[in-house]
A and B are shown apart, each in its own frame.
Chain A
Amino acid sequence: MSDKLKVAIVGSGNIGTDLMYKALRSEWVQPVWVVGVDPGSDGLARARAAGLKTTAEGLDGMLPHLAADGVRLAFDATSAHAHAEHARKLGERNVVVIDLTPAALGPYCIPPVNLAAHVGTGAMNVNMVSCGGQATVPIVAAVSRVQPVAYAEIVATVASKSIGPGTRQNIDEFTRTTARAVEVVGGAKRGKAIIVINPAEPPLLMRDTIHCLTETEPDQAAITASVHAMVREVARYVPGYVLKNGPVFDGRRVTVFMEVAGLGDYLPRYAGNLDIMTAAALRTAEQFAQHMLGGRSS
């Protein structure tokens, strides 16, 4: 146990709690603190039951113990509003921050596409974009690594029950951030993102459609192989990441239909959109851990 990287989870809501269960299974990181603001929160109770230290006093409740407990990395699963302050306080203490909020102060991180570029380069704050970004940007990148993509557009359809009040109050933040990541990380010259919320019961699994317009005639065989390889790569940390149909080729349009089921750790299985965020964040933390722990024999 002692040679794992010690990490803290800031935020004891749905995302933080799901992340805790995933992190407890990790070979590379060991969660030691869960930070909340509500003493009655289910997440904090579960953290205590799992033997972790908790505080309901927010980040300031943990900071005095940070050094003594050897915390070197923290996940921020609170809000974009709270993140700036958290990033500053943790950064001052040399703690790497993995940001699951939409704040995006640090560079976007989509593990199978650009995680390697952030690890070992001194990056101290990386942002996990959005659920739609984690589910779709890898596919855009799978096409753009074969040939230039003039335009990519993603449509994320999610179960009504899986979209919390924060996202609902600022739905533009989702479309803007995701579109930007489609460009910056996915490699499309221009990106667009659309989100559709469906209230069907039982709740539907997250669905994502990725459309790319290639600059020239698409190389069907190479793109198909690249997409399949990328799906396998994402499925290593999100086993429920499944290619439903495609790639479909129609002139210069390349379309891929994905479905994302979660693991059902704390969040229900249909909330693949939340699961892919927590799984990607953990994946990112593990890569940082491997680098930060350096010569650990495994």
Chain B
Amino acid sequence: MNLVGKHVVLHDMSLRDGMHPTQHQITLQQMIDVATGLDEAGVPLLEVTHGDGLGGASINYGFPLHSDEEYLRAVVPRMKRARVSALQLPGIGTLEDLRMAVDCGVGCVRVATHCTEADVSAQHIGMARKLGVDTVGFLMMAHMITPEQLLVQARLMESYGAQTVYCTDSAGYMLPDDVTVRIALLRAELRPETGIGFHGHHNMAMGIANSLAAIEAGAVRIDGSAAGLGAGAGNTPLEVMAAVLDRMGAVTGVDLARLMDVAEELVVPMMDTPIRIDRDALTLGYAGVYSSFLLFAKRASERYGVPSRDILVEMGRRRTVGGQEDLIEDVALDLARARKAKATQG
């Protein structure tokens, strides 16, 4: 693989996707410290939002320690070079939230939908463009459809005004060839000026390999997370990605040593438990299940005495999509009842 001289924009997720494993309890000071560290390390883009995007504060997804607005107002003014992005999922957050984020000074808005539902994003993508920020369409759970189907949805987002379209492996299910075929098709068929991005999860340990495949096939933006802090087994570890790209002669503009220090000294201490591929995270990747279901399944498992792996497999069997966290408790109750019935019969 030859990536010599390729320019890659790294986008850090630790303060947004990293909200999932921290149960949205990152303090303002931690946000500021990590963001400032990433900025100084030359990371060009970093995301700050509730794990489920603007307006995600809820019983269903978790109440954060601070509001999106408090986090954004704390972080954005302190950035010297980095731009801050905000994530938005139509159906959860509204245009009002989006306007608030832009008012806080975010330079990039990423509008996310399930990979087959791009047409719910027209209003939000259109608004982001109108407000003059860098606008990204983010197609989640992209492993669930064919590359050709993904292209249809990517074209919709492009037609609404998205300047970059992402192939998002929310479940950490894809293998490098799955990434190559999707990114290559998007690159070949979308307008030349539309950028392509890839967002990976490390549930099958494919974060780096998939991101390299994406770059080779034409992606210019790669999401990762300092120390991998993110849902499931985390995102593509950003400092590792930067190191690999450096060895391959690609250009990221990132100061590798400083990025390693941010990951090691600031992000790792924020972890409640190590971000690693435990059997539940591996199940997410293996079965193609949305990564942020992980902690919800673990909690439901404790409460209802059903193995979390069984809950996650059932979530996969029911073809669930991102945002269906409410179904986890429902499924756990169903499984607990079925076990009880079986025990009684037995």
Contact = CB atoms under 8 A, between A and B. Distances in A.
Contacts of B92: 175, 194
Contacts of A197: 91, 114, 117, 120, 321
B60 interface: yes
B28 to A, nearest CB: 23
6 contacts: A172-B90, A197-B114, A197-B117, A207-B327, A211-B60, A253-B59
Given A153-B58, A157-B324, A169-B122, A176 B334 contact: no
A155 interface: yes
A151 B60 CA distance: 12
Interface in B297-346: 303, 318-321, 323-324, 326-327, 329-330, 333-334
A169 B121 CA distance: 8
Nearest to B330: A257
Given A160-B116, A171-B120, A195-B91, A200 B319 contact: yes
A248 B329 contact: yes
Contacts of A155: 60, 323, 326
Interface in B209-263: none
A133 B93 CA distance: 18
A175 to B, nearest CB: 6
Interface string A176-211: 100000000000000010111111100010010101
B123 interface: yes
B276 to A, nearest CB: 29
A213 interface: yes
A156 B96 CA distance: 21
B119 interface: yes
A253 to B, nearest CB: 7
B315 to A, nearest CB: 12
Contacts of A192: 58
Q: Determine the main DSSP class of A at the interface with B.
A: strand
Interface of B: 58-60, 90-92, 94-96, 114, 116-117, 119-120, 122-123, 303, 318-321, 323-324, 326-327, 329-330, 333-334
Given A165-B119, A255-B329, A175 B321 contact: no
A171 B321 contact: no
Contacts of B91: 171, 174-175, 194-197
Interface string A26-57: 00000000000000000000000000000000
A194 B90 CA distance: 9
**For the complex of A and B, 10 pairs with smallest distance between CB atoms:** A200-B319, A209-B326, A196-B323, A211-B59, A199-B116, A245-B333, A195-B91, A257-B330, A172-B94, A155-B326
Contacts of A257: 326, 329-330, 333
A198 B113 CA distance: 11
A65 interface: no
A198 B320 contact: yes
A121 interface: no
B324 A196 contact: yes
A199 B117 contact: yes
A248 B333 contact: yes
A204 to B, nearest CB: 8
Given A153-B58, A153-B59, A213-B59, A168 B120 contact: yes
Contacts of A194: 58, 60, 91-92, 323
A232 B324 CA distance: 26
Nearest to A151: B59
Interface string A226-261: 000000000000000000111010100101010000
A153 B52 CA distance: 15
Contacts of B320: 198
Given A194-B58, A198-B324, A169 B94 contact: no
A200 B324 CA distance: 13
A170 interface: yes
Contacts of A151: 59
B90 A171 contact: yes
Contact of B327 (A157, A169, A170, A250): A157
Nearest to B127: A172
Given A171-B90, A211-B60, A211-B326, 12 more contacts: A153-B60, A165-B119, A172-B96, A196-B91, A198-B319, A198-B321, A199-B117, A207-B326, A209-B330, A245-B330, A255-B329, A257-B330
